[in-house]
Copies of this chain bind each other. A is one copy, B any other.
Amino acid sequence: MRLPILIINFKAYAEAAGRRALEIAKAAERAARELGVNIAVAPNHLELALVAQSVDIPVYAQGADVETPGAHTAHVAVDNVKEAGAAGLILNHSEAPLALSQLSRLAARAKAVGLDLVICAPDPDTSLAAAALKPHAVAVEPPELIGTGRAVSRYKPEAVVQTVEKVSRHFPDVAVITGAGIESGEDVAAALKLGTRGVLLASAAVKAKDHYQKILELAKPLAD
């Protein structure tokens, strides 16, 4: 996983459904090329293979349900995320919480098949537990700020700082990124100043009128 990183989570937003997923992914690709920074897009499951075959930037899956392929109707297997063309996997987003033991198994499998692995957690203590599973990055996201436009890097900087401190003390190989409420390039810059190596965001990019311009703004601090 190349750091610093900006990850754009499409969630299940209408604005990123169907063909619109391709448009946002291509805007992100253009911004990444323009700035020379690492931007990953995380389309909804429904558009994952479609997006992955259409852009050259890293595509991350928003989650996975089982480790390996098989008779798992309506489930996403880690191996199939890779097969569909993804380069990474986000696990345990606050909107898709995973049982600890299942998270542990999925994380091990993701690393085994060579996917970039980001595990989300809501606070410093839980982030430390997530870091113990040795992902490439832990994303600390206070759920009460997600989607509010009140950026974690401004409204809850102590959660970010404590996570960086705890994780780097115990598991220095695990990067810390953050998210929740990130709306502007300034919010991203503030997050990096707190010691994180990147940002995970969603609505700011997905719901922008001009995807390219907004992603450019959001990713700019990574180039500085």
* A contact set with B: CB distance below 8 Å: 9, 11-14, 17-18, 21, 44-50, 53, 61-63, 66, 69-77, 79-81, 83-85, 90, 92-104, 108, 121-123, 125-126, 128-134, 146-147, 170, 202-203
Known: A71-B95, A75-B95. A47 touches B84 (CB 8 A): yes
- Verify A17–B69 contact, CB threshold 8 A: yes
**What residue in chain B is nearest A167 (Cβ atoms)?**
B132
- Verify B46–A84 contact, CB threshold 8 A: yes
Nearest-CB distance from A51 to chain B (Å)? 8
Q: Which residues of B contact A84 (CB under 8 A)?
A: 17-18, 46-47
Number of copies: 4
8 additional A-B pairs beyond A17-B83, A46-B61, A63-B73, beta carbons within 8 Å, are A12-B73, A13-B70, A18-B80, A21-B49, A50-B50, A73-B93, A101-B121, A132-B132
Bound complex: CA A134 to CA B13 (Å): 28
Bound complex: CA A69 to CA B202 (Å): 14
Known: A17-B84, A129-B130, A132-B128. A96 touches B71 (CB 8 A): no
- Verify B80–A12 contact, CB threshold 8 A: yes
Known: A70-B11, A76-B46, A132-B132. A94 touches B101 (CB 8 A): yes
